[in-house]
């Protein structure tokens, strides 16, 4: 089975809106996918702030969640935070640390993370 890829929050939202780039679509179709548990928190906060309409209760989102791995923010992930070679908001750092802890290439458009020399990228 191909290696799972880790999707950041922006990729998850763009995917549910049908706004992924062709390369992103190909990667997601070819690999199992996972998300850090912090992605769920970010989606909830973005909804609360009125920045997105997506809800954690949307049937389409719940259906999608049933097909992905949700990695917890646990000791293994938090231990990897100190290894990161970039600084960003805490959620992005946890998402990147999740990729390190689970050896899952990260699919992101974030230029700070993409500039990392240690975070595996999809």
What are the C-alpha distances in Å from 28 to residues 10, 65, 66, 80?
14, 14, 15, 25
> What pLDDT, in 10s, does the model give residues 57-91?
999 999 999 999 999 999 999 999 999 999 999 99
Q: Which domains does the chain possess?
A: 5-114 (3.40.50.1010)
> What pLDDT, in 10s, does the model give residues 44-65?
999 999 999 999 999 999 999 9
Q: What is the pLDDT of residue 2?
A: 67
3: confidence class by pLDDT, cuts 50, 70, 90: confident
Task: Find out whether 105 and 73 touch, Cβ atoms under 8 Å.
Answer: no
> What pLDDT, in 10s, does the model give residues 96-118?
999 999 999 999 999 999 999 99
Question: Sheet holding 5-7: strands in order across?
Answer: 69-71, 33-36, 5-7, 106-107
């Amino acid at each position: 089975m191909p290696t799972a890829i880790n999707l950041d929050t922006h990729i998850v939202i763009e995917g549910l809106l049908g706004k992924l780039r062709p390369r992103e679509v190909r990667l997601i179709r070819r690999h199992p996918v996972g998300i850090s548990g912090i992605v769920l928190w970010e989606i909830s906060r973005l909804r609360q702030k009125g920045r997105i309409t997506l809800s954690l209760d949307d049937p389409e989102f719940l259906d999608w969640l049933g097909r992905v791995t949700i990695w917890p923010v646990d000791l293994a992930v938090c231990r990897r935070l100190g290894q990161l070679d970039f600084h960003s908001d805490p959620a992005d750092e946890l998402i990147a640390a999740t990729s390190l802890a689970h050896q899952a290439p990260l699919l992101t458009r974030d230029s700070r993370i993409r500039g990392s020399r240690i975070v595996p990228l999809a």
